[in-house]
Structures are given as C-alpha cells and as structure tokens.
Amino acid sequence: MLLTFVELNCENLFDTRHDTLKNDVDFLPDGRYRWTPYRYWKKLNAIGKEIIGCGDTAGGWTMPDLVALVEVENDSVLFDLTRRSLLRSARYEYVMTNSPDERGVDVALLYSPFSFSLLSSSSLRVEPPRGLRPTRDILYASGLTIGGDTLHVFVVHAPSRAQGEGPTRRYRMRVAERIGEAVDSIRAVDGEARIIVAGDFNDYTKNPPLRYLAERGLRSASDGAQGTNGARGTYRYRGDWSSLDHILVSSPMDEILIDCQIYDAPYLLTPDEQYGGSKPARTFLGPRYLGGTSDHLPLVARFRIGIRK
C-alpha cells in the first residue's frame, strides 16, 4: 500500500471577509489586493486541482492521503476548500492552528479518513524573541495509517526573512528547537516512532535550523527533489530555483520512503521572461494580480506501508 504526503505553500489563501482580530484588510474586496469572491473561488479551485494532480504517479492515480498546507487563513477557508471546491468529492477532513500571527496566517493538515484515522491534534506555540512579532503555531497531529501504525505529523511555517535573514535567524532556530523538544517527547515513549515534519521553514538545508533537526535524526526526504517539467526547487527567485519547503522524516519513515518529487505540471508554471526558463505561476506580484495558483510548488512524498494482519 502507498501513503502519499503533500506539502504546499498556498500563497496567502485568505477569504474575503474581515476578521476584526486580525490585520487582513489587504485581502478584502476593497483592500490593497482587491480580493474579490471571484478571485477567491478561482484560487480555491486552483488549489483543489493542484492537490488532485499531486496524486498522479507513474503507477497510476490516487488522491493524496495527507496534505500539509501553509498560508491558509481560517476554518472558513478550509471548509470551502474541502466542502465546496473541486476538492469536495475527496471528502477530506482537516485540523488547523489558530495562531497569534497578526495577519491571521495559519497552517493546516488535510487527511483522508479512508487512510488516516486522527487520534489527536494540538498547536505548539513558539515565543518570539524580544522585538519580533508573534509567528505561526506548529501544528501537531497523530493518527493511525491504513497499515495500523501510528504516524506523527508536524506542519510548520517558520518566521519569514522579511526583517532580514540575520535578525530573524534566532527566531527560526526557536521553531526548530520547539520541534526537537516535541520529537524527543514522542521518542521517549516510542523510539521507533514514525514522524513527518513538513512545511515552509524559510531556510535552506544548509542553514542552522535544518542542520539542527538533521542532528536530531530527522532526514530530509525532499533534499534534491525535482520536477518533471524543469523545476529544481519549490520556489524561484531571480532566476534561481531553491527550496524553502521541506519534508523531514524519522528513520522508520525513511526506510519506507519510495521517492519525493516536486509537482510542476505545466499549468502551475509560467515563462520567466527576465531570466529565462519557467517559474511558479503566482497569484500576486506585490499588489498586482497575476491569477496564478501559488508562488510555491508542492512537494510529493510517497511511502510504502504494510498492512497488519
């Protein structure tokens, strides 16, 4: 049996209604981004199509079992995505965080109830260093796979580099350390625990937070992942492909990993007129609406799981 796991940064998947507790006014119909219901539903269906496409493999097609989503606003967005978009027939369930992030950006995990039975979920808070804004909570979920094993999943959206890579580096280290603490707690109970940590770390494999997690026995399943249509990373900046998105796994998951690829179907790409080649077809460039799906491409990892008799 196969278990398919997807990680995707959705690039600001906001609804069109104002949350008085959050600074989401840019993503309103009269806001800076002119985020109208038409644009919202177009993006929802595009994300749904993308997730469906991630189930297409050389051996056939099947819906992904688990989907880690980054940059989703709230429960309303997840309800619309799973119940009212192109994705509705998949009958995904979901859990998500409710973070202190000022814009209301959160992370979520979609799961198929046919292949993953949720046991528990919680949010892990990360205290910001002095002078920095609150960041997204880390989502933790555990459940039983169709093989009968417990799988532990963490979904991460580490602080961005918008205030400078150096000043924010210690913040991302705090996120890594918080994950490390949680992983250690799980392993204290089960030394052979099956663990996946996925999301947008806003760091590269060589950076300290990812090295720290590697030292704690979390291997990068996505290191070196490529697409079949030219993508050599999940993100492209000034002509260079790179990956701020990662899927990390514990040793027992590494042993059953089949492969990890970038899903770069042609409809997710657009010509890079300045640097040549192609790049992800993003929704916005600054406040200018481009109509694409996301500025990140999804990672797709496949695992071979056994069924207990």
Q: What is the mean pLDDT of each run of 10 residues along the chain (309 residues)?
A: 96 96 95 98 98 84 96 98 97 97 95 98 95 94 95 97 79 97 98 98 96 97 97 97 97 97 98 97 97 98 79
Neighbours of 226 (CB within 10 A): 15
For residue 287, what pLDDT is reported?
95
For residue 163, what pLDDT is reported?
66
- How would DSSP label each residue in 25-87? GGGSTTSTT---HHHHHHHHHHHHHHHHHTTEETTEE---SEEEEEEE--HHHHHHHHHTSTT
For residue 265, what pLDDT is reported?
97
Predicted TM-score (pTM) of the model is 0.96
Query: Which residue has 């973070």 as its token pair?
Result: 99
For residue 165, what pLDDT is reported?
77
Q: Where are the alpha helices (DSSP H) in 84-162?
A: none
Report how far residue 65's alpha carbon sits from residue 41's, in angstroms, rounded to the nearest whole number: 23
- Three-state SS for 125-141 is CCCCCCCCCCCCCEEEE
